[in-house]
Every structure is written in C-alpha cells, then in structure tokens.
Structure 1
Amino acid sequence: MSEACERTVGSAKPQLDTALTRLVGVRHPVVQTGMGWVAGPRLVGAVAEAGGLGILASATMSYPELAAAIKETRERTAAPFGVNLRADATDAADRVELLIKERVAVASFALAPRAEMIARLKDAGVVVIPSVGAARHAEKVAAWGADAVIVQGGEGGGHTGGVATTLLLPSVVDAVDIPVIAAGGFFDGRGLAAALAYGAAGVAMGTRFLLTRESTVPDAVKRRYLESKLDGTVVTTRVDGLPHRVLRTELVDGLERAGKVRGLARAVANAARFRGLTGLSWPALIREGLAMRHGRDLSWAQVLMAANTPMLLRAGLVGGRTDAGVLASGQVVGMLDDLPSCAELITGVVDQAVEILARLAATTAVEHR
C-alpha cells in the first residue's frame, strides 16, 4: 500500500495521511476553495465536519459580515477551517488581526500576500496557504515563509491561467519544498490519487463543492451547471480584463460578441444595475475597477466590469439570474451529474483514492516478484 495510506487507530478504513493533513490537522487531504458568494458558513462547516478543509470566502464580505461568518462557522464545527483573504483589500490588515483573534486555522490568499503579512500570521500560529499560478510565484511565497501553496491549472474556474494542471503541478512540486495542493480539474478519487502521484499533498475543489447539497447556490443555477458539457465553459477577458473561466451564458456570449462601443454601453448598464446593491457611488465604483487592473491595460468597459464583477457573480450565484449573472466554473462541470452531501463527496473521493493507490501498490509488488 502507498506510504500515503495509513490505517487510523480504531478505524475500519485506511485514511490518507499527507503533509496537508498533518499541517492543518484535518482528516482528509481535500480542500474546498474560497468561492465568492458560495463558500459561506453552511458549506464550510459541512466540509470541516466531513474531515476536509473548508475555506470561507471573505472577498465578498464586509468586515462585520466576515466576523459574523467566522462565529457562525465556529457554531457549526469545532474542526479546523480557513478564510480566504484579498491581500490588496484596504482593510486587509484588520482582517488578518481578526483571523488571529478568532484563532482561525488557515489563511488563504488569491493574490500573493506581502512578506510582512505572512510573518504576522505565522507568528500567531495561523497556517498561510497562498494560491499561485506559476512555479516562480510559488518560489517567491515559499521564500517569504508560506506554509503551503494551492496551484490551479487552466481547467479551474474563476480567474485562471493557461497552463494545464498536469504540467503546472509537477513544475511547482519540483520548485518548492513546502506542501503543494493541486486545483483545477479535480472531482473524484482518481484525481486525488493522480495528484498524490505527482507529489501533491492533496487536492482543492471549487465547482465540485458548489454542486453539493449544502451549497447555498439556488437550485435553478445548480441545474444550469449540471446541464453543462465539457465544452460548456469559456475563458474570457471581457468580464474584468483578466482571464476568467465561466459558464457560457447569454451575458457572457454578449460580452464576447460586443465591440468596444457596445461593450462599454453594456458595462455601464450592468454597473448601473448592480450599483444599487453595493451602495457605491460612480466615482467609488470606478476607483474599485481601477484598483483591480493589476497593471493591465484595461478598456473603460473592462474597468467598469472589473468594479462590478462581484455583483455579476452575486446575481447568478445568490440571485439565481442565469441570464444576467456571471457563473464561474471549472471545466470539470461537464463531468458532474449529481448533488452529493459534502460528507458523501469527501468520503467517496478518499475511499476511491485509497482503493486505487492500494491496487497500484499491489500491481507493482507483483511485477517485482
């Protein structure tokens, strides 16, 4: 049997013991990513109770909402969980102090946190796990003291890169000496076994956890996801100027077809529609869009779309507007046709991976006789 498979004392089934489970103190090397508008206390609590690492999405929460979400998650589970932070948020330092005060186990980041932010969290005993899209980014945050990294291949949903997980993952594993968590294209035990074979310490899944019974995404939207095929997603820069993998919807198709003038008109209309939900003034909305440019040369349409992208996501993932919202999704959506509970999902993934690893180990032993 693989070295990753060890029988837990008093348990009837072997479990997967990896650098991730030891680092964070969870039972299973399975992570639920911090998806905006999706990863709230109900989903995160269910994942934690099932033995995985659930991560709250704080980028779409105000500071008081994050504090309340941490409290509610604590009421749902005593197991470790994490919070995803936006390193460039104006109140990022305050949120870091909140995680420390509330003794949150893990801080994850979509953008690389500053070295001093990593140091502050680590000094307080918080495990720091940034997400990266290239080996050089992993090397940088590892040098700054990050405890582990999540590496997402181009198959993943939301903001993503162009390199497939099968190439990106081994390049990062070879580059750093800290645990690497694989994301992008994972949904079952075969993927977990493959990731471990590549040298990863576990897998992170977003779309698969979005399509669970504990996910608060409206049922009609879940059905829209389940109807999608392997070619049902598209990587577009028309949403906010960054490569963004989303479901093909009427809104996204319209953005893809629109020229500059029409694109600007559509962006203004969308900004006006969703501005009321945020309470932001037009100047504040534009400032938010400019802040999200990340050094890229964006059109004014893209600046406006960048500013209200969270609200476009909210329209679909909370409001159920498949016609007017953006639905972030990994390509894996084309492989999914059910809505398991988080416990059923995690148990099934781990059991299948253990079986595969044991079978491969037995095959190797036979061949060497």
Structure 2
Amino acid sequence: MSGTGGAGTAKEAGRTGFSTPLTELAGVRYPIVQTGMGWVAGPRLVSAAAAAGALGVLASATMPVDRLRAAVREVKSRTDAPFGVNLRADASDAPERVRIIIEEGVKVASFALAPSAGLIARLKDAGVVVVPSVGARRHAEKVAAWGADAVIVQGGEGGGHTGNVATSVLLPQVVDAVDIPVVAAGGFHDGRGLVAALAYGAAGIGMGTRFLLTSDSTVPDAVKAKYLAATVKDVTVTTKVDGLPHRMLRTGMVDGLERSGRVSSLLRAVRHAAGFRRESGMSWAGMVRDGLTMKHGKELSWSQVLLAANTPMLLRASMVEGRTDIGVMAAGQVAGVIDDLPSCAELVERIMDEALATLRALPTAR
C-alpha cells in the first residue's frame, strides 16, 4: 500500500496556502501541527498556532472536564480557524470529553493512545476528524483499520514518552503501510524538515518543542531560557519518571531521579498521585480505573502504574510554576538546535518560506 502522496500532491498556492492531504482534511492553510502538550498547549498557544495557519491542538488530559469546555470556548473566542483537542483514549472520562468535543464543534480529535473503534466511529459520525498518535507501524495499521482519518507518527527524537526508532526509519514504514495521511513528528523545527517529511510521503509535520519555544507559549521565561541554553547532548531519555522511556532535558532533578531507589520513587509517586488527583478533579476510584486500563494488555507492574502519576505533576512544576528544581522538562532533541522565541505567526511564516525556498532549490532530474 502507499501512504499519503505527500510530496507528490503538495502544491504551492502562493503564500496563502500549501495544499497536502492534511490541510485538506483539517481545513488548515499549512501542513504543520502544533502537538498537544500537557500544561503547555493551552488556549493562548493553540489559538495563536491556529490563527497562523497551523493545526493547533489543545491538551486536555491535564485539565478537569469542566475546564475542557471552557478552554475550547476560549480558543473559539480568539480565532475562527480550525483546531483540535488531544485526549487520552484510556481515561475513564474519555466518553465525556468526546461529548464536549462534539457539542462544541471541534474540528479534530487527536489521541495520545489508540482510541477504540467505537470511539472513532462516534467522532466520525459527528463529523470530527480523528487523528491518533502512534509510535509503531503496527499501531498505525490498527487505527487505520478502525477508521482513523490520519495518524501522527513520532520517532525516537520526539519529546515526552517516545520509542527508540528514529523518525527517518519509522516514517517511511508507516507511510508504506497505511492509506491515510501520515503526519511526521519527532525532530522537526524548520522548513527543510517539512520538505524532507513530504519527500518521505508524509502529509505534514507535527512539532511540540518548537511551539513550546515561542513567545505565545505560557511556559515561564526562565524555563524557556533553560531550553534555549541546552545543547543536543543535554537532551536525554530516562525511565525514572514513570517507568517508561521519557525524553527530557537533563537537569539536576533528572540526575537525582536516576540515582533514586525504588522505595523513594514509590513514596514520591504516591505524593504526586495525590497532587494530580486534586489538580485534575479525579477521584481515587477514577485513578484506579485508569490504572487498570493502563495495565490491560501491557507488561506493567503496579509500581509502574503508580509511578505514572509522576509525569503530570513533575511537568506542571516546571511548565506552570517554573520550578525546574523540583520538576522535569519534556523535550525533543531539537531543543538543542533552537535558539529563539518567535511568535507562532513568525514561526509558521518562516517555516513555509524555508520550505518553498528549499523546494525551489532542489535539483531537477534529467
């Protein structure tokens, strides 16, 4: 099977648009996705990315259900451009969040984990475009068979939870395996990367760290400064946050987590679980249900499930409170090559100008 025909179908439409299967599906001007990052992708960043012509995606997993509706309405008040909402398919309240997405007329629903065939069908019946994120070819094949409209595939360079296969190897595998548009994520930050992704057959690129490092991001300035000061070697992968591979900046906090023993890790996880319960509005029963869902079909110990509570609260400490001494900073490897804080509008315009210039400079086959 063939993938998306990204490079073959992409066409220049002046500076008013750049058409690929992704832009046609989502109704956006440019084949760029601002991915849903917990505590980062709030209404201000999402509306700025959407207004700039990209697909802005609101992160909902770290907010209570009632806050989700308010956040969606805030984005709508800021821009008329299409945008999406990212949510966890395994969350116990996922059906309620899906209902809000449908009722509020959100264009795109993206998922950090594969949604069920029933959830996909419910969204599609309501006219919502469904775009799960995956990290393996088999996962892309599964959600495509279940009716997903497109898929975001993240290679090992990407920030947050990640795999160990580079985007340049994983992307063509997925493009060859499915017949739906594929969005490439992990390692992208400029127009050259967009052209490379299109050449592989992708329909666009997804970027998290690059949008985090914009003037429209609400991440504290002191935290952004730490990202800008980082080199490629300062970005590492650790399993000490929640038992799963997690790409982030190497800091004193991360070094401390790496040295911590099992008992101290579990005690810390219990404290953070309690904190996340208060922040998210979830009950202990709801968190246990989500933990059971996480364990289902996976080789996860109960200690790993409990450690998963570390992630949202450790990220919140840095991304919201600016406390990098007690928090962690998820980061793609591209953090080591980013050195400025443009607005979303400036960033998207720059990427598209670079992409068009790169396309024009490519040698002609003879």
TMscore range, shorter length = over 0.9
1:244 counterpart letter in structure 2: H
Residue 68 of structure 1, CA deviation: 0.1
1:83 aligns with 2:95: no
Corresponding position: 1:193 with 2:201: no
Contact 1:250 1:324 (C-alpha < 8 Å) held by counterparts: no
Does structure 2 conserve the Cα–Cα contact (< 8 Å) formed by 1:31 and 1:52?
yes
Pick the aligned partner of 2:300 from 297, 300, 313. 297
The 8 Å contact of residues 35 and 56 in structure 2, kept in 1 or not, is answered as: yes
Match of 1:335 in 2: 337
Partner of 1:345: 347
Partner of 1:130: 132
Q: CA deviation at 1:331?
A: 0.7
Query: Structure 1 residues 136 and 288, CA, compared in 2 at 3 Å: closer, same or farther?
Result: closer
Preserved CA contact (<8 Å) 2:149 2:181: yes
- Contact 1:190-1:352 at 8 Å conserved across structures: yes
Give the Cα–Cα distance (whole angstroms) in 1 for the partners of residues 346 and 248 of structure 2. Answer: 26
Matches for 1:303-314 after TM superposition, within 5 Å: 303-314=305-316
Q: Distance in 2 between matches of 1:290 and 1:146?
A: 25
Alpha-carbon shift at residue 250 of structure 1 (Å): 1.9
Aligned counterparts, 1:107-126, within 5 A: 107-126=109-128
Counterpart position of 1:167 = 169
* Distance (whole Å) between structure 1 residues aligned to residue 171 and residue 147 of structure 2: 20
Shift of 1:207: 0.3
Measured in 1, the distance between the counterparts of 2:105 and 2:278 equals 35
Tell me the SS of whatever aligns to 2:364.
Answer: helix
**What residue number does 1:231 align with?**
233
Cα separation, 2, equivalents of 1:273 and 1:23: 39
Distance 1:293 1:325, change over 3 A: farther
Q: Distance in 1 between matches of 2:118 and 2:292?
A: 25
Alignment TM-score, normalising by the size of structure 1: 0.91
Q: TM-score, normalised by structure 2?
A: 0.92
- Contact in 2 for aligned 1:274/1:312 (Cα 8 Å): no
Q: How does 1:22-171 map to 2 (within 5 A)?
A: 22-171=24-173
Alignment of 1:221-260 (within 5 A): 221-260=223-262
Structure 2 residues not aligned, in runs of 5+:
1-6
Match of 2:325 among 313, 319, 323: 323
Equivalent in the alignment of 2:3: none
Tell me, yes or no, if the aligned pair for 1:289 and 1:307 is still in contact at 8 Å: no
- Asked which structure has the greater CA Rg, the reply is 1
Tell me if the contact between 1:289 and 1:305 (Cα under 8 Å) persists in the aligned partners. no
- Does the CA contact (< 8 Å) of 1:233 and 1:247 recur in 2? yes
Q: How many residues align?
A: 359
Distance 1:50 1:157 in 2: 23
Question: Which segment drifts farther, 279-288 or 338-347?
Answer: 279-288
The structure-2 alpha-carbon separation of the partners of 1:190 and 1:303, relative to structure 1 and needing over 3 Å to count, comes to same
Matching of residues 206-225 of structure 1 within 5 Å: 206-225=208-227
Q: Using the alignment, how far apart are the partners of 1:255 and 1:271 within structure 2? A: 17
Q: Distance in 2 between matches of 1:230 and 1:74?
A: 37
SS at match of 1:84: strand
- Give the aligned partner of residue 364 of structure 2: 364
Q: Identity of aligned pairs, percent?
A: 66
Once the 2 structures are TM-superposed, how far is the Cα of residue 288 of structure 1 from its aligned partner?
5.4
What is the Cα-based RMSD across aligned positions, in Å? 2.1
**What is the alpha-carbon distance in structure 1 between the residues aligned to residue 16 and residue 74 of structure 2?**
32
Deviation at 1:188, TM superposition (A): 0.3
Deviations 1:110-162 (A, max 9, x none): 10000011011111110000001111111111111100000000000001111
Contact 1:118 1:128 in 2 (8 A): yes
